[in-house]
């Protein structure tokens, strides 16, 4: 049997030190809802586990100031229920409570949520499937296979796996920052730089360096968050990943759009910001027509595959509906 | 004794279940238990040429690895439809052959489950691969006319009148093809076995719908006398036809336990259940239906291609039900089986009728639109009292009453017929659809033994299994009425080969075969009590009579069989076989019926479909236990919603097997998918089919829900969905 060593440091500093010594084959454990799942599937075979659940400094939620601050260990259920969030940033709250199930949300942390891995079945289910993400160089079974759930944006010849999470899609729309701690101290990056597109190395999902952990997420408390929504279309009404989702926020002044935020889920290899579509709305009234046009623009550069082409039309409508729901809250 | 409708009583085992006290098959942990895990094939088809077990054997705690090289003494399983006991004739691990991806190739047994799983992942297998045909639509998947398929119970195509000519001459007609993906039962309780030997005697704990087949099938495979085997299965955590016969793990667990001299538990993980057990086959159905200008059906031509495996003909009974939906002027069916490199498909809840109803009831809806007729009216117009196939009368057929009462309960008169004509305030398109369903009214033999004690206990043993459908509650209710005792005083011993012979509980014949036996046993007990000559007052309970007679207890046996059957049928169940009969009896034909009314809401932009409201009206003969019957009916509607909008096995033809082989990816409905479900019962006893007046319920409840949904989707959107499940992309 493969032995696993387990450590439960009590402070961030000792967690960083433990990770620095540990080297490759080490995994951070938060809620475990992704990690244990992938271990059971034999996709993850860690030799060492560093359990960060003892790091109370990572669990804080503070939504009172100019920045919303979420510790990486804050639980999805607690954050989604935060009163300031539900009124000032409904998109962030909805992205959390429309994800997974209540049981999972009670266990799962925000940090782990951001770092969940793709649902691509060829990736998850091991032999005999070719998968460059799981086994670099083995090929990609999805490109010529069942790819209804695969990406229309950000894919490569090596991998078209969709980033599955919801919360990250909402975060990317609001210019969030991520604070990271590692052997060389703390650093801070725009959230949009956390995930990386597969390119020719799909095995690595993020720009985190070895031994680094996510400490917190910061979101500027921009008033644009108020008229926002996370609109998620899925194959059933709950407990399913997005077929297509859109995080949308709108600011209207004198009947025209002065700020628009739009990000797409379920259709890209990373949380996908649709900036051109955002721009197209500025100085216009938000109507079903302008909203639909923005949706079409958001999907204009989609690269479709055999089973996912319907998402171009569906996606344009999801964006349309998301923008209208958001503007209804302005 | 009272007559008339039965009183509603609570589910007698509810407390056991909600407190976790009900012990299911693999909940048993006999002392010294070892755990098994399978290594599975990664190729679509071929032969094992070599196995390297060294790494697996090196895992600490591994005690035994069973491969085809050790199992020569075991006999292969025999397919139930060849008068055997197994869901298929193919026996993984007993052969170097690989028939489909995901089949077990070795069983590892270890001190802990963890060690067994770990070791199984280290078994290295070399194969000689062969080309394979994994799905109904695969290239090279060639249909075989069913009439030519060699099976133990051949099924002929049906021809009533000259349907081709009538169809050709008809004024109004529809010709449409319907397809369905495979579906996979996902009971909460996984398939599994605990096998424990004590000397020559083997005790098996297993969640099974067929303890008799486990006993006799295992005896045959192990080469030991059946009386050396006890099978105990008091509760089943859902069967749905998947646990109706023996599965691959049973004989291997028993074999490993014997080799090791220790009890062995093998629980088959969810992913492996998708790959090595029965499922609802994919189908392709073509219906040609014609009517005269008044809406009377002049002809129906029904064709089906149904998936089977390379090693067995899983027979299609789809046409038999298709022929009974209406009183068509003429009817013709053509059934073909399409062998694929998969496990043998099987009897997933409403195994044929669910698919058939989708095709027939959708076509009827299309024809109603062609004719400009109301979909309820056209169904009422084409009802029949006579079975067109046999010419015999139906013993009870209340489908028109179901339609009328259902329509009223649903508020069908508020429906405007034009597609897209009903729009909700929020812009959602509203659709209302109707469909009927039917299911064979089967019957069968059963034995019963009943014991009354002076302290008031009644113990009854019957050949039937409690799989959540509520049979234990129904038995308590019936016995309580017949013996004038409280339901709580009745203990039913079910799914246990230490009692009377256990017949397969399936095909909605559980109540129809066991309840008449229970009634006969009650009657025999009454007679035996009378014979004690106590002159007890009218209505005295067995305990009172026993007290007067100064007796501690009294036991009697009884046996019943269905119309047209004789004692030979009892011989079948005494040896672990099935002996159902119906729906065509010597003098009449019996079916159960359902009318479903569905409201859908479709979002105009994203095409998201929701089902806020379903009304189902059911004719299952006498309702024995109103509460559990209602639960059955609601569950059938939920199944129908899953079948219509959610469930599909996804096959990547390059690899074979099922890609979405877990319940995160194979979608079944969740609570948020389900709105209001109202059910009603006609509750009229069938006068002929058995002494209890009871027909089946557990399957008919699901039949017709799917087409009621797709008919509602058509009404909402003007788009006719001819493939199940219907997904967003089908409406874009
Ligand atoms: C059945 C199911 C359905 C789901 N449905 C959805 C859905 O609809 N939408 C959705 O968005 N999600 C969904 N999820 C995913 C779920 O949200 C994630 O599994 C969860 O958020 C992960 O959080 P965790 O704390 O359990 O992470 P863990 O499993 O503990 O960790 C996940 C990964 O992140 C790493 N990690 C964790 N914390 C840190 C940190 N602070 N710094 C660095 N690395 C870290 C771990 O090493 C691991 O690699 C679903 C999951 C399941 C099992
Ligand atoms: S899409 Fe990516 S994750 Fe999926 S099979 Fe291809 S390489 Fe693997």
- A37, A97, A125, A293: best to mutate for the B interface, most B CBs within 10 A: A125
User: What amino acid positions of B are annotated as catalytic residues?
Assistant: 699
Residue-averaged pLDDT of chain A: 97
| The total number of structural domains that make up chain A | 2
- B641/B687 same-domain check: yes
Cα dihedral: A79, A81, A82, A85 (round 10) = 90
- B681/B651 same-domain check: yes
Cα–Cα distance measured from residue B350 to residue B355, given in angstroms and rounded to the nearest whole number: 8
Cα–Cα distance measured from residue B462 to residue A315, given in angstroms and rounded to the nearest whole number: 57
Span B642-687, pLDDT tens digits: 999 999 999 999 999 999 999 999 999 999 999 999 999 999 999 9
Q: Looking at residue B431, what is its pLDDT?
A: 98
Read off the CATH number of the domain in which A28 is found. 3.30.43.10
- Check the CA dihedral B15-B19-B21-B22 and report its sign: positive
Residues in A touching B732 (Cβ below 8 Å): 310, 313-314
Bond preceding residue B725 cis, omega within 30 of 0: yes
Give yes or no for a contact between A23 and A50, defined as CB atoms under 8 angstroms apart: no
**Ligand 2 atom closest to A151 (CA):** 1
- B727/B640 same-domain check: yes
Cα–Cα distance measured from residue B452 to residue B475, given in angstroms and rounded to the nearest whole number: 15
Token pair 């492996």 in the structure block, residue: B272
Q: Looking at residue A276, what is its pLDDT?
A: 98
Token pair 């060492």 in the structure block, residue: A48
- Domain membership of residue B136 (yes or no) is no
Compute, in angstroms, the gap from residue A163 CA to the centroid of ligand 1: 12
Above 70 in pLDDT, residue B489? Answer: yes
Instruction: For residue A249, give the nearest of A184, A319, A183 by alpha carbon.
Output: A319
- Domain membership of residue A167 (yes or no) is no
Give yes or no for a contact between A133 and A295, defined as CB atoms under 8 angstroms apart: no
Above 80 in pLDDT, residue B204? Answer: yes
Task: Tell me the average pLDDT across A58-76.
Answer: 97
Cα–Cα distance measured from residue A90 to residue B293, given in angstroms and rounded to the nearest whole number: 57
**C-alpha to C-alpha distances, B233 to B206, B262, B467, B509, nearest whole angstrom:** 6, 20, 9, 18
Integer Rg of chain A from CA: 20
- Domain membership of residue B633 (yes or no) is yes
For chain B, give the number of residues: 732
Cα–Cα distance measured from residue B66 to residue B51, given in angstroms and rounded to the nearest whole number: 11
- Cβ distance A238 to B673 less than 8 Å, yes or no, reads yes
* Sequence-ordered strand ranges (E) for B91-157: 97-98, 104-110, 124-129, 144-145
Taking CA atoms, what residue in A is nearest to B122? A1
Span B285-318, pLDDT tens digits: 999 999 999 999 999 999 999 999 999 999 999 9
Cα–Cα distance measured from residue B59 to residue A137, given in angstroms and rounded to the nearest whole number: 29
Cα–Cα distance measured from residue B674 to residue B73, given in angstroms and rounded to the nearest whole number: 51
Strands B264-267 and B34-40: parallel
Above 70 in pLDDT, residue B530? Answer: yes
Taking CA atoms, what residue in A is nearest to B610? A237
Q: Which residues contact A330 (CB under 8 A, 6 or more apart)?
A: A226, A227, A250, A251, A252
- Cβ distance A318 to B118 less than 8 Å, yes or no, reads no
For B283, phi then psi, to 5°, come to -140, 155
Above 70 in pLDDT, residue A32? Answer: yes
- B466/B452 same-domain check: yes
B659 touches chain A (CB under 8 A): yes
Instruction: For residue A159, give the nearest of A189, A115, A204, A195 by alpha carbon.
Output: A204
Above 80 in pLDDT, residue A1? Answer: no
Q: Find the chain A residues whose C-beta atoms sit closer than 8 A to any C-beta of B.
A: 1-2, 42, 119, 121-122, 125, 127-129, 141, 144-146, 233, 235-240, 243, 310, 313-314, 317-318, 320-321
Select from A54, A74, A91 the last residue of a domain: A54
Read off the CATH number of the domain in which A309 is found. 3.30.390.50
- Domain membership of residue B413 (yes or no) is yes
Task: Tell me the average pLDDT across B158-173.
Answer: 97
B727 touches chain A (CB under 8 A): yes
Q: From the centroid of its chain, how far is CA B663?
A: 20
Strands A67-71 and A213-220: antiparallel
Burial of A13 (0-12, 13-18, 19+ CB in 10 A): exposed
- Cβ distance A141 to B608 less than 8 Å, yes or no, reads no
DSSP H/E element including B281: none
Q: Looking at residue A22, what is its pLDDT?
A: 86
Select from A35, A54, A73 the last residue of a domain: A54
- B483/B563 same-domain check: yes
Residue-averaged pLDDT of chain B: 97
Span B620-629, pLDDT tens digits: 999 999 999 9
* Residue whose CA is at the smallest distance from ligand 1 atom 14: A100
Give the orientation angle of helix B248-260 with respect to helix B211-222, to 10 degrees.
60
Cα–Cα distance measured from residue B368 to residue B370, given in angstroms and rounded to the nearest whole number: 5
Q: CB-hemisphere CA count at 13 Å for A83? A: 1
Q: What is the DSSP string of A223-279?
A: GGGSSEEEEEEESSSSS--EEEEEEEEEEEETTEEEEEEEEEESSBSS-EE-HHHHH
Cα–Cα distance measured from residue B355 to residue B349, given in angstroms and rounded to the nearest whole number: 11
Task: Tell me the average pLDDT across A286-306.
Answer: 98
Token pair 């538990």 in the structure block, residue: B265
Task: Tell me the average pLDDT across B58-73.
Answer: 97
- Domain membership of residue B14 (yes or no) is no
- Cβ distance B728 to A243 less than 8 Å, yes or no, reads yes
- Domain membership of residue A149 (yes or no) is no
Q: Which residues pair with B331 in a beta bridge?
A: B160, B300
- B284/B321 same-domain check: yes
- Domain membership of residue A284 (yes or no) is yes
Instruction: For residue B150, name the pLDDT band (cuts at 50, 70, 90).
Output: confident
Q: In chain B, positions 665-694, which contact chain A (CB-CB < 8 Å)?
A: 665, 667, 669-673
- Domain membership of residue A171 (yes or no) is no
DSSP H/E element including B74: none
* Residue whose CA is at the smallest distance from ligand 1 atom 36: A112
- Cβ distance B605 to A317 less than 8 Å, yes or no, reads yes
Percentage of chain B modeled with pLDDT above 90: 98
- Check the CA dihedral A302-A303-A307-A309 and report its sign: positive
Instruction: For residue B154, name the pLDDT band (cuts at 50, 70, 90).
Output: confident
Above 70 in pLDDT, residue B173? Answer: yes
Token pair 């195994």 in the structure block, residue: B351
- B177/B196 same-domain check: no
- B165/B214 same-domain check: no
3-state secondary structure of B535: coil
- Domain membership of residue B559 (yes or no) is yes
- B509/B475 same-domain check: yes
Token pair 């027909």 in the structure block, residue: B695
- Domain membership of residue B3 (yes or no) is no
Buried b (16+ CB within 10 A) or exposed e, B11-21: bbbeeeeeeee
**Ligand 2 atom closest to A150 (CA):** 1
- Domain membership of residue A268 (yes or no) is yes
Residue B119's domain comprises 25-131+188-238+243-273
- Domain membership of residue A280 (yes or no) is yes
Q: From the centroid of its chain, how far is CA B271?
A: 21
Cα–Cα distance measured from residue B270 to residue B191, given in angstroms and rounded to the nearest whole number: 9
Residue A38's domain comprises 5-54
Q: Looking at residue A131, what is its pLDDT?
A: 98
- B383/B261 same-domain check: no
3-state secondary structure of B212: helix
Cβ of residue A131 lying under 6 Å from some atom of ligand 2: yes
Cα–Cα distance measured from residue B472 to residue B495, given in angstroms and rounded to the nearest whole number: 11
Instruction: For residue B647, give the nearest of B672, B667, B670, B673 by alpha carbon.
Output: B667
Instruction: For residue A3, name the pLDDT band (cuts at 50, 70, 90).
Output: confident
Cα–Cα distance measured from residue B331 to residue B705, given in angstroms and rounded to the nearest whole number: 24
The structure tokens listed for B162 are 């000259």
3-state secondary structure of A74: coil
Give yes or no for a contact between B704 and B697, defined as CB atoms under 8 angstroms apart: no
Percentage of chain B modeled with pLDDT above 70: 100
Q: What is the DSSP string of A194-237?
A: TB---TT-TT--B-PPTT-EEEEEEEE--GGGSSEEEEEEESSS
CA distance, residue A239 to nearest chain B CA (Å): 8
Q: CB-hemisphere CA count at 13 Å for B586? A: 5
DSSP B344: P
Span B383-434, pLDDT tens digits: 999 999 999 999 999 999 999 999 999 999 999 999 999 999 999 999 999 9
Cα–Cα distance measured from residue B459 to residue B144, given in angstroms and rounded to the nearest whole number: 50
Task: Tell me the average pLDDT across B52-81.
Answer: 97
| The total number of structural domains that make up chain B | 3
CA distance, residue B50 to nearest chain A CA (Å): 18
- Cβ distance A125 to B659 less than 8 Å, yes or no, reads yes
* Residue whose CA is at the smallest distance from ligand 1 atom 13: A100
Task: Tell me the average pLDDT across B330-338.
Answer: 98
Cα–Cα distance measured from residue B287 to residue B116, given in angstroms and rounded to the nearest whole number: 50
Query: What are the pocket residues of ligand 1 if the criterion is a CB atom closer than 6 Å to any ligand atom?
Result: A 27-35, 37, 52, 72, 99-100, 104, 107-109, 111-113, 115-116, 165-167, 213-214, 241; B 664
Residues in A touching B603 (Cβ below 8 Å): 321
- B536/B655 same-domain check: no
- B113, B663, B729: best to mutate for the A interface, most A CBs within 10 A: B729
- Cβ distance A240 to B667 less than 8 Å, yes or no, reads yes
- B689/B672 same-domain check: yes
DSSP B303: E
- Domain membership of residue A229 (yes or no) is yes
Select from A54, A77, A95 the last residue of a domain: A54
Read off the CATH number of the domain in which B260 is found. 3.30.365.10
Above 90 in pLDDT, residue B2? Answer: no
Cα–Cα distance measured from residue B119 to residue A316, given in angstroms and rounded to the nearest whole number: 49
- Domain membership of residue A107 (yes or no) is no
- Cβ distance B667 to A235 less than 8 Å, yes or no, reads yes
- Domain membership of residue B164 (yes or no) is yes
Size of interface A-B (CB pairs under 8 A): 75
Q: Which residues contact A171 (CB under 8 A, 6 or more apart)?
A: A92, A114, A191, A217, A219, A271
Q: From the DSSP assignment, how many helices (H) and strands (E) are in chain B?
A: 17, 25
Q: Looking at residue B1, what is its pLDDT?
A: 62
């Amino acid at each position: 049997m493969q032995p696993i060593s387990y450590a439960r440091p009590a402070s961030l500093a000792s967690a960083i030190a433990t990770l620095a010594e540990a080297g490759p084959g080490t995994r951070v454990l938060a809620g475990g809802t992704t990690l244990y799942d992938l271990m059971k599937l034999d996709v993850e075979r860690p030799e060492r586990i560093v359990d960060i659940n003892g790091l109370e400094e990572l669990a804080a939620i503070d939504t009172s100031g100019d920045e919303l601050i979420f510790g990486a260990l804050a639980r999805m259920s607690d954050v989604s229920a935060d009163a300031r969030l539900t009124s000032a940033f409904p998109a962030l709250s909805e992205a959390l409570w429309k994800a997974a199930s209540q049981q999972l949300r009670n266990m799962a942390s925000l940090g782990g949520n951001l770092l969940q891995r793709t649902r691509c079945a060829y990736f998850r289910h091991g032999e005999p499937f070719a998968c460059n993400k799981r086994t670099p160089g083995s090929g990609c079974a999805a490109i010529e296979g069942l790819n209804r759930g695969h990406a229309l944006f950000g894919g490569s010849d090596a991998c078209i796996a969709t980033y599955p999470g919801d919360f990250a899609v909402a975060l990317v729309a609001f210019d969030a920052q991520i604070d990271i701690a590692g052997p060389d101290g703390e650093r801070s990056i725009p959230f949009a730089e956390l995930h990386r597109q597969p390119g020719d190395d799909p095995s690595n999902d993020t720009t985190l360096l070895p031994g680094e952990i996510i400490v917190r997420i910061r979101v500027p408390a921009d008033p644009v968050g108020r008229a926002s929504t996370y609109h998620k279309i899925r194959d059933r009404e709950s407990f399913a990943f997005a077929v297509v989702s859109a995080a949308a926020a709108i600011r209207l002044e004198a009947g025209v759009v002065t700020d628009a935020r739009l990000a797409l889920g379920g259709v890209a290899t990373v949380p996908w910001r649709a900036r051109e579509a955002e721009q197209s709305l500025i100085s216009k009234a938000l109507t079903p027509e302008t909203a639909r046009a923005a949706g079409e623009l958001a999907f204009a550069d989609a690269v479709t595959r055999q089973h996912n082409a319907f998402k171009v039309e569906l996606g344009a409508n999801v964006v349309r509906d998301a923008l209208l729901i958001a503007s209804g809250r302005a | 004794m009272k007559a008339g409708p039965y009183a509603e009583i609570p589910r007698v085992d509810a407390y056991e279940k909600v407190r976790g006290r009900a012990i299911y098959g693999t909940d048993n942990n006999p002392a010294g238990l070892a755990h098994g895990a399978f290594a599975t094939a990664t190729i679509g088809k071929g032969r094992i040429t070599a196995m390297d077990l060294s790494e697996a054997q090196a895992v600490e705690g591994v005690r035994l690895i069973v491969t085809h090289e050790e199992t020569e003494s075991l006999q292969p399983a025999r397919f139930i439809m060849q008068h055997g006991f197994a869901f298929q004739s193919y026996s993984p691990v007993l052969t170097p052959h690989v028939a489909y991806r995901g089949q077990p190739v070795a069983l590892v047994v270890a001190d802990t489950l963890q060690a067994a799983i770990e070791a199984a992942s280290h078994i290295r297998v070399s194969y000689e691969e062969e080309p394979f045909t994994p799905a109904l639509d695969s290239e090279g998947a060639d249909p075989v006319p069913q009439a030519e398929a060699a099976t133990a119970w051949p099924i002929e195509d049906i021809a009533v009148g000259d349907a081709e000519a009538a169809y050709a001459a008809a004024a109004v007609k529809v010709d449409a093809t319907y397809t369905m993906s495979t579906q996979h039962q996902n009971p909460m309780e996984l398939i599994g076995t605990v096998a424990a030997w004590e000397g020559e005697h083997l005790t098996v704990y297993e969640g099974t719908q067929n303890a008799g087949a486990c006993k006799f099938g295992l005896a045959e495979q192990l080469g030991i006398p059946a009386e050396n085997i006890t099978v105990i299965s008091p509760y089943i955590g859902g069967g749905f036809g998947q646990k109706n016969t023996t599965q691959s793990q049973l004989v291997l667990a028993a074999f490993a336990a014997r080799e090791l001299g220790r009890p062995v538990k093998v629980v088959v993980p969810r992913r492996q259940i998708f790959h090595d057990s029965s499922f609802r086959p994919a189908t392709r159905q073509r219906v040609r239906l014609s009517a005269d200008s008044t809406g009377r059906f002049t002809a129906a031509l029904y064709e089906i291609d149904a998936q089977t495996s390379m090693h067995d003909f899983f027979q299609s009974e789809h046409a038999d039900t298709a022929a009974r939906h209406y009183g068509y002027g003429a009817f013709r069916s053509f059934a073909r089986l399409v062998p694929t490199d998969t496990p043998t498909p099987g009897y997933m809840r409403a195994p044929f009728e669910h698919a058939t109803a989708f095709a027939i009831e959708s076509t009827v809806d299309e024809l109603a639109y062609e004719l400009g007729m109301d979909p309820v009216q056209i169904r009422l117009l084409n009802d029949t009292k006579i079975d067109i196939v046999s010419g015999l009368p139906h013993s009870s057929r209340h489908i028109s009453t179901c339609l009328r009462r259902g329509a009223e309960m649903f508020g069908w008169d508020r429906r405007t017929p034009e597609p897209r004509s009903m729009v909700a305030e929020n812009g959602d398109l509203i659709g209302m659809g109707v469909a009927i369903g039917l299911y064979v009214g089967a019957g069968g033999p059963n034995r019963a033994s009943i014991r009354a004690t002076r302290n008031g206990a009644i113990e009854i043993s019957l050949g039937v299994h409690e799989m959540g459908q509520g049979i234990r509650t129904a038995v308590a209710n019936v016995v309580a009425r017949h013996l004038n005792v409280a339901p709580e005083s009745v203990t039913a011993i079910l799914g246990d080969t230490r009692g009377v012979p256990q017949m397969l509980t399936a095909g909605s014949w559980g109540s129809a075969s066991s309840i008449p036996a229970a009634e006969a046993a009650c009657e025999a007990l009454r007679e035996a009590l009378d014979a004690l000559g106590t002159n007890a007052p009218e209505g005295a309970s067995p305990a009172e009579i026993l007290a007067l007679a100064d007796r501690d207890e009294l036991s009697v046996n009884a046996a019943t069989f269905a119309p047209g059957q004789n004692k030979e049928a009892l011989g079948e169940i005494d040896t672990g076989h099935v002996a159902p009969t119906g729906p065509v009896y010597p003098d009449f034909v019996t079916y159960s019926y359902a009318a479903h009314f569905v409201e859908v809401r479709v979002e105009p932009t994203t095409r998201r479909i929701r089902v806020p409201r379903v009304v189902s009206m059911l004719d299952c003969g006498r309702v024995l236990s109103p509460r559990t019957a209602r639960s059955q009916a609601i569950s059938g509607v939920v199944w129908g919603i899953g079948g219509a909008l959610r469930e599909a096995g996804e096959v990547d033809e390059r690899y074979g097997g099922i890609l979405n082989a877990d319940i995160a990816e194979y979608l079944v409905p969740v609570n948020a998918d389900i709105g209001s479900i109202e059910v009603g019962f006609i509750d009229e006893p069938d006068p002929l089919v058995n002494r209890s007046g009871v027909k089946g319920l557990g399957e008919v409840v699901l039949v017709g829900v799917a087409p009621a949904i797709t008919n509602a989707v058509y009404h909402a959107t003007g788009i006719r969905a001819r493939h199940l499940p219907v997904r967003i992309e089908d409406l874009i």
